[in-house]
Amino acid sequence: MDGHVLSVEQLTVAFGGLTALDRVTFDVPHRSVVGLIGPNGAGKTTVFNAVSGVVRPREGTLRRHGRPLRRHRPHHLPRLGISRMLQGLGLFPGMTVLENVMVGADPLATGGLPGMLTGLGRAPRDERRVRERAEAALHEFGVADTAHALPGTLPYGVQKRVALARACVCSPELLLLDEPASGLAADEVSELAERVRGMRAHGSVLLVEHHMDLVMRVCDRVVVLDFGRVIADGTPDEVRADPAVERAYLGPPEGDGDLLAPDGPEEARDGR
Amino acid sequence: TGAGQTGEGAEADLDVSTGVTDDTVTIGAHMPLTGPAAPGYSQISVGAQAVYDFVNANGGVHGRTIEYLAEDDAYDPTRTVEVTRELVHQDEIFAMVGGLGTPTHSKVVDFLNTEGVPDLFPSSGALMWNDPEKYPLTYGYQVDYTKESKILGEYISEEFEDAKVGYLLQNDDVGVDSQRGLDMYLQDQAVSVEHYESGAEDLSAQIAGLEREGAEVVVCACIPNYVALGLLESARIGYEPQFITSSIGGDTVTLRGLLSSFAEQAGSGGDPDDFLNGLMTLGYLPPVELGGDDPWVAFLRGVYDEYGGDAPLSNTTVYGMVQAVQFVRALEAAGEDPTRASLIEALESLEPGGPGLVPFSSTGEDRGGYAGGFITRYEDGELEMVRDPAVTDNAEGDIEPAEVDRPLPEDIGPLAQG
Amino acid sequence: MAPTHRAPASDARPDTAGPAKAATATRAGRRPALGHPLLRHGLWALAALAAVALLTAATGPVTDLRVADVGLHLLAVAGLQLLVGTSGQVSLGHGAFMFVGAYTMALLVVNLPAVPLAAGMAAACAAGCLAGLAVGAATARLHGPYLAGATLMLAVGLPAVALRFPDLLGGANGLAFTAIGAPPALSGLVDDTQWRALVVWTVALIGLVVLATATRGRLGRHLRALRDDPTAAALSGIPVGRARVTAFVISAGAGSLAGACQAYVLGTATPSTYALTLSLVLLAALVLGGLGSLWGAFWAALAIVYVEVAGTELAHALELDTDVRNNLPVVFFGAVLIIIVLAWPRGVHGALSALGRHRSTPSQTGDS
Amino acid sequence: MEHFANLTLNGLATGAVYAALALSLVLIYQATRVLNFAQPAFALVSAYLAYAVTAATGSYWAGFAAALAAGALLGAATERLLVRPLRNASPLSPIIATLGLLMVLQGAVGMVWGNEPLSFAYPLDYRGRFSPADAFALASVLLVALALFALYRFTPAGLRMRAAAIRPEAARLSGVRVGAVLASAWALASAIGALAGMLAAPPFLTPNAFDLVFVFAIAAAVAGGLENPFGAVAGGLAVGVLLSYVTGYAGPELTALAALVVLLTVLALKPDGLFSRAAARKV
Amino acid sequence: MAADPALRAASAPPALRTEGLTVHYGAVRALDTVDLEVAPGALHAVLGANGAGKTTFLRAASGLHPPRSGRVLLFGEDVTGAPAEELVRRGLLHVPEGGGVLTELTVEENLRLGGLVRRGRAARAAALGEVYDLFEPLRERRTRSASSLSGGERQMLAIGRALMAGPRVILLDEPSLGLAPLITRRIMHLLQDLRSRTGLTVVLVEQNARTALRASDRAHVLDQGAVATEGPSADLLGDPRVRAAYLGL
Ligand SMILES: Nc1ncnc2c1ncn2[C@@H]1O[C@H](COP(=O)(O)OP(=O)(O)OP(=O)(O)O)[C@@H](O)[C@H]1O
Ligand SMILES: Nc1ncnc2c1ncn2[C@@H]1O[C@H](COP(=O)(O)OP(=O)(O)OP(=O)(O)O)[C@@H](O)[C@H]1O
Ligand SMILES: [Mg+2]
Ligand SMILES: [Mg+2]
């Protein structure tokens, strides 16, 4: 058993004539934050989809702790210790915040169908445990006071945290975050950065993000995709300095009459 | 105890006059007034109501007017059970008269008998109404499907000796019981049996099947809709067998109405009789085509003109009217102060004659109602009797000529007063 | 950074994305459970049964029959509620499962009269679950109108089985029988119809307790999750296909049990009873009653039985031409349906609970 | 062999009717994502009106025109008064409202014209294995499908219609007058429904005459895929022929069961109907 | 800067002006008497924290959500209460939060839909070409269903669709959401370019204050539905109090 929570080897995914991923290879080491960046349509979400069993790769292998993952389905993720936050949040609009997070905690329950139908056996204990875990997660993410609201009525930032709470409630070993910072204000992004860094204590994070500030701040490693291919893989600083990355993704660092040119050292890495 | 192990119910008390007040007698019926099965039946209750209105207008029966509650069951047995219970428990009818349909009425016949409600003249030719052992309070009306098809079968086997015969049957007890009777005589001649589901809109596959087998005579045990559809479809593909229908489909007035739009298109002068000429049908009631030649037709037409609806008087209307007449006769015979028991007694003593052209049996062991029929051939609005009235049973028994002593309308008290 | 804005306490944003989204969030999470759920639901059920007993004792056989009718439709619609309201699968063929139950019951009573009633009910329920398993598995990949179309065909096609096997199933005439009435020991106390109403309600309430427990617990949560967003549900560990089939099985079991009750009460099982109209009426009543709550099923059952009655009585009360009178109940039912759906898009239950909230807090209705 | 040919021709003729009604269902589904249960009622009212107009004027075609006009009017009015107010409710609500409308209209027809069958003429001579009337039915349905397909694929109106259906708000932000577009889509669809009514009504018309036609039309629309008018036509004709074979070779009681089995098989292979495009990306 | 908005504003009526705009969601007041004026050809930013009411402001201005009180004027004309589709015909385009692409249509159909309000086949074809030039990935995926697009590609499609209509005023709700830095910059450049070439007026809602303030001429800052402060963007960016209190910088 090697130390990699996830190894992606020669992953190739195609949709019809379009090759979305082309022999992508990288690792997510234990207790680390790996950033996955690249232009729009580069295939970042597709990597997540392959890892979570939503799309079947044409070629290549995924390994968890060295053991290959084959023909797994999305609903196997919690069992595999993987958890994913969707790009569009994917909260259940007809359920309260607490229930949303309880769904995330349900894999903790062990009872079977008879118990669910009759409320007998392990069911009440399961229910209590799931609820307690969910409530704890809500507290942890600072959204406990919205437990009984419907997500649609909440500000976007709060919804984000609910989605994050749902993804983290089972303490996954590998957390897949798809653009968690989009739509968040600057202070919220900082807070998010803290959290992501804190997650290293329990497990690993694979982070897709266009918010360069966040990526540079929290990632141990950064993998850059372009047109479905890995064009760079290294520490944040290495990647930043890579001219290919600059050409494909970041754009010229210094503005020549560029309205968006960074103006201060502490903001130097803000790409937005 | 098991769910199906029911003990003998207590004998219901018949010495009651539930539903009878000083000046009214309330009776009920269930029938499809709406839904897919409704077409074709609405004239029955219109006819019955016309007779009751006439009787009521002329002083009623022993001074009591008849209140007739025709409830809609949409031909759904579940609804039949419900409306029947409402009629019995809530409206407290004296008797059920003319509950319509085999699948429907068969679900309440037990109930009516255990509740002690006389169950008169169900509008159905099923064999089960004639079962005094099991249903002592039930009295049939319509000639049963097997009896009539025996008569038809014998006629065909005699008159169309070497012809290939095809059956066109409704896919329920009508078809099953009819086929039994037909097969007794036509086993060797039958080349094709086609069915249709009631509610279907199309008979093209069936008619094509009959044509393919070369059937020269087609017997229909169908309601008028499907007889008309069959005639039309045959005309469409240029197939010209001899059509012969059982009593339920032989209402030529209705058939003429159904076919009225197509004669013109057929391009032959524009008369629906072009489709109907030559059609043979079995009957037991006086057909309206007899007109003034028949005292009962004349009388019923008078009643209908005054109390009926806008639709032309059809043989279906006559069916309902005769049903009502028979009930009025029984009620009159039940005496000044009718009880359910006296109604049953009256039925048992009812003269076998009536408006019909064949004997009507409501006594002793045979409560089958009309016991046979005659066959006519239609030609330009006229009917020619091709087989005189005959009676038979629904088993192996022979077919015998019928003698019937028909009372005139004025012989019947409540009808005579008019 | 605590959120600066408090969420409005009341309605969800109107959202038309998923089916049955108008369903309210259930109160599953709201307050700590009052004891064991089974105990709580059981107490409710006992109280309801007592109320039914009192009601039937005070009224005549016609009302008894209607009470029984309400009970069995309540069970059927509650099963449909789980499928449509909770799991978001729109079925237009629930009547087919009632058909299965009714015929199972009828066949047992006719052919094996010695089998006890409870065993008959259990067999009907099992047969329904099997049918639900088959249908659910065959339609698990379908969504929206495709599922609706397939189940619609089921409602039309399945009763034809009775026509195919006339010797066993009685063809178009169906089966008629008399099932056991009140036990002799109680013959002075309750009459047969009353007894049957009580049996129906006992079965219905047992079914409701199971449905309520299932809806409130983990299963219900899973079904609501996959209703709202199947992809997110799958990624949260819910086996979407299996959960969908489970919903079908439970719902079919309830529908079948309701059909068995109907056959038991009326002593008949006939194909024309289980025509498409029944399935459509069940679904329409469900929407009218309110999606997402068992109370909705209750209003639905009341509507199924009593709107019909009201229409008929209206027709009798008015002096009308025959054609008008005959068709009035149908028009009346349709009009009630339209008016309620327009006036209360979330059904009677939705309207009543909004009223309740309106009383306790100032108006906060959602805007579009 | 001849029998087979006969059954096929008969099936095509009835299939044309299913196809016409399926087309109108597809169009409305495209426009508002509603399965319109009132569609057979529109067809019914139109056909009865046509009957009355034909009786009054003596001209079949005057009745035909009246039917199409009545259908269009009914459709537009329904969209405006029943469906639009429910656009923010659960997607089931408008479906149930149209179901209510079906009951009301069916009952109303019974109230006005009674429940007894009326004798309803064919547009053209109906005699022959494949009569002028059959040809008319088939040709008009194919023509309508072709026109609809062109409308969807190639005209701005079709694009607006689809956009208005899918995301009304986004469509409005592209300048689409969603209300007007939807009302006209309903009007068009219901005029096609009225055409279906005119084709289905002969020979006998009753208030429930279109119940089964409607069921099979839904089966046809779903089997063909609700996205494509040709799907509806292919589905309709296939259902018609299938039912004809089943009736002719196996027995009429099996038609519904056979339709169920075939529909389930088709959907098992293609869950979005035969003519569906590839499934949409979900994440 | 190409044109001096202040100069133009003196001669022409403001491109967009709201007076006392107030919007309620049920009993909740989401927008409270917002006054705002955007000169023709200006690039105007509207900033604020999550839930401040930025989206609500745009929805009210574009006719998607009728305000409870207040007025909206487009080039001096009162358009309060006019439905969104009418405003589109008058040149006011709104790119909603999250884009609102029609996922059931193909990429090109989405774009064609946007161009329908434009007169003339040639003009539409030209506009289509321009949009494809701008967003190359869309050209490659023109026949694909929009549902297959990645998040960022969808955002491009939404903006492209609005441009197809030939807007005079464009309201952008968080256009940078989910876009790669390079593309974000390109869009900002594009907006600059369009306004100097065609006099396009832009109202830009951004979560990310710095980007928006850099790109814009003037800005409003909303807080809890009301205008907290406003002024030239450079001033706001330079004001430490504003930065701390409202912009989280
Ligand atoms: N199901 C699918 N069918 C067809 N094409 C697809 C599908 N999923 C993804 N693609 C295509 O594959 C490419 C990669 O998409 P993906 O969503 O992985 O991009 P991404 O890197 O996440 O981009 P973004 O940053 O914009 O979200 C895109 O061009 C997209 O159009
Ligand atoms: N349809 C609605 N029903 C009820 N409340 C709503 C609705 N839409 C928005 N709100 C509330 O109105 C307030 C303003 O919301 P708005 O979406 O305009 O904010 P925003 O500034 O665009 O926020 P964000 O940065 O998250 O997009 C918020 O408190 C929000 O919860
Ligand atoms: Mg992505
Ligand atoms: Mg916003």
The b/e string for C2-18 (b: 16+ C-beta within 10 A; e otherwise) is ebebebbebbbebbbeb
The pLDDT-based confidence of E3 (bands split at 50, 70, 90) is very low
Mean pLDDT of A246-269: 52
Q: Residue A55 CA: which ligand is closest?
A: 1
The CB of A182 under 6 Å from ligand 1? The reply is no
Block means of pLDDT (10 residues each) for chain B, length 418 residues?
Answer: 71 86 95 89 92 94 94 92 93 95 93 93 93 92 94 95 94 92 94 90 90 94 93 92 94 91 66 90 94 90 91 93 94 92 90 86 86 93 92 90 87 77
Answer for the pair E126, E160: CB distance below 8 angstroms, yes or no.
Answer: no
Tell which wins on pLDDT, E8 or E145. Answer: E145
Chains touching chain D, criterion 3+ CB pairs below 8 Å: A, B, C, E
Q: Is the Cβ–Cβ distance between D40 and D21 less than 8 Å?
A: yes
The band of A262, judged by pLDDT with boundaries at 50, 70 and 90, is: very low
Chains that touch C (3 or more CB pairs under 8 A): A, B, D, E
Distance CA B148, CA B182 (A): 9
Q: Which ligand is nearest to the CA of E106?
A: 1
pLDDT for B403: 85
Chain E positions in Cβ-Cβ contact with residue C5 (cut-off 8 Å): 51, 224
Q: Is the CB of E40 under 6 A from ligand 2?
A: no
- Ligand 2 contact, E53 CB (< 6 A): yes
Full strand arrangement of the beta sheet holding A82-85: A82-85, A174-178, A204-208, A33-37, A221-226, A229-234
Residue A26: its pLDDT value, please? Answer: 96
Q: Find where tokens 């309508």 sit.
A: D144
C40 φ, ψ to 5°? -60, -50
Q: What would the mean pLDDT of D152-166 be, rounded to a whole number?
A: 88
CB contact under 8 A, D101 and C338: yes
* CB proximity list for D66: less than 8 A, separation 6 or greater: D46, D49, D50, D53
A96–chain D Cβ distance below 8 A for any pair = no
Range of the domain at D122: 2-269
- Ligand 1 in contact with E103 (CB < 6 A)? no
CB burial readout A33-65, b (16+ within 10 A) else e: bbbbbbbbbbbbbbbbbbbbbbbebeebebbbe
Q: Which residues contact B12 (CB under 8 A, 6 or more apart)?
A: B113, B114, B115, B116
Q: Tens digit of pLDDT for each residue in B66-122?
A: 999 999 999 999 999 999 999 999 999 999 999 999 999 999 999 999 999 999 999
Q: What residues of C are in contact with residue A76 (Cβ under 8 Å)? A: 237
Please tell me if the CB atom of residue A156 comes closer than 6 angstroms to any atom of ligand 2: yes
- How confident is the model at residue C35, as a pLDDT? 62
Note the pLDDT of residue D90: 87
- Rg of chain E over CA atoms, in angstroms? 17
Cβ of A87 within 8 Å of Cβ of D283? The answer is yes
Six token digits for residue A86: 């969707």
Put simply, whether E103 touches D (Cβ < 8 Å) is yes
* Confidence bin at A271 (pLDDT 50/70/90): very low
The pairing of strands E201-206 and E43-47 is: parallel
> Is the pLDDT assigned to residue A254 strictly greater than 60?
no
pLDDT at A57 over 80: yes
**Tokens at residue D224, please?**
């063909």
Best to test chain C binding among E24, E25, E56 (most C CBs inside 10 Å): E25
Looking at every residue in chain D, the average pLDDT score rounds to 92
Cα–Cα distance, E161 to E95 (Å, whole number):
9
Q: Which amino acid is at D180?
A: A
Domain range annotation of chain E? 5-247
pLDDT at B364: 76
Read off φ and ψ for residue B169, nearest 5 degrees.
Answer: -120, 145
Say if A and B touch: at least 3 Cβ pairs within 8 Å: no
- E10 — pLDDT class (breaks 50, 70, 90): low
Q: Which of D18, D116, D216 to mutate: most B Cβ within 10 Å? A: D116
Interface test with B, best of C73, C173, C186, C194 (most B CBs within 10 A): C173
Predicted confidence band of residue A264 (pLDDT cuts 50, 70, 90): very low
Residues of E in contact with A42 (CB under 8 A): 150
Indicate if the pLDDT at residue D32 is higher than 60.
Answer: yes
- Rounded-to-integer distance, Cα C71 and Cα C305, Å: 10
Evaluate whether residue D205 is within a structural domain. Answer: yes
* Averaged pLDDT, groups of 10, chain C, 368 residues long: 37 35 40 64 88 87 92 97 95 96 96 92 97 94 92 94 91 88 78 90 95 92 95 94 96 97 93 93 95 93 94 88 89 96 92 81 41
CA atoms within a 13 Å half-sphere pointing along the CA-CB vector of B3 = 28
Using a CB–CB cutoff of 8 Å, tell me whether B86 touches chain C: yes
pLDDT at C23: 38
**Contact A211/A204 with Cβ under 8 angstroms?**
no
**Residues of chain D numbered 180-209 and touching chain C (CB < 8 Å):** 207
Question: For position A209, what pLDDT does the model report?
Answer: 92
H/E element holding D95? Answer: helix D92-113
- Ligand that comes closest to the CA of residue E51: 2
> What pLDDT sits at residue A265?
34
Q: Where are the alpha helices (DSSP H) in chain E?
A: 5-11, 54-61, 84-89, 107-115, 121-134, 136-140, 151-164, 181-198, 209-215, 233-238, 240-242
Rounded distance between C-alpha atoms, residue E102 and residue D163, angstroms: 7
ipTM over 0.90: yes
What is the Cα–Cα distance from B90 to C61, expressed in whole angstroms? 9
Is residue D228 very low, low, confident or very high in pLDDT (cuts 50, 70, 90)?
confident
- B403's tokens: 């003698």
| Alpha helices (H) along B69-171 | 77-85, 102-105, 109-115, 145-159
At residue E45, the pLDDT reads: 93
Helices C144-157 and C276-289 sit at what angle, rounded to 10 degrees?
140
| Dist. CA A157–CA A138, nearest whole Å | 14
Structure confidence at residue E194 as a pLDDT band (50, 70, 90): confident
Using CA atoms, how far residue B226 sits from B171, B279, C225, in Å, is: 12, 14, 52
Cα gap B243→B220, rounded to integer Å: 7
Q: Do C3 and E50 touch (CB under 8 A)?
A: yes
Residue among B4, B35, B171 minimizing CB distance to C172: B171
pLDDT at D129 over 60: yes
- Yes or no: say if B331 and B19 are a contact pair by the CB < 8 Å rule: no
Question: Rounded to a whole number, what is the distance in Å from the CA of C223 to chain B's nearest CA?
Answer: 34
pLDDT tens by residue, A182-226:
888 778 888 999 999 998 888 999 999 998 889 999 999 999 999
- CATH number at D44 reads 1.10.3470
CATH number assigned to the domain covering E5-247: 3.40.50.300
A20 lines ligand 1 (CB under 6 A): yes
Single-letter code of the amino acid located at A214: L
Say yes or no for a CB contact (<8 Å) between C156 and D256: yes
- pLDDT for B383 equals 92
Which residue's CA lies nearest to atom 7 of ligand 1? E148
A49 CB within 6 A, ligand 1 = no
**Minimum CA–CA partner of D90 in chain A:** A94
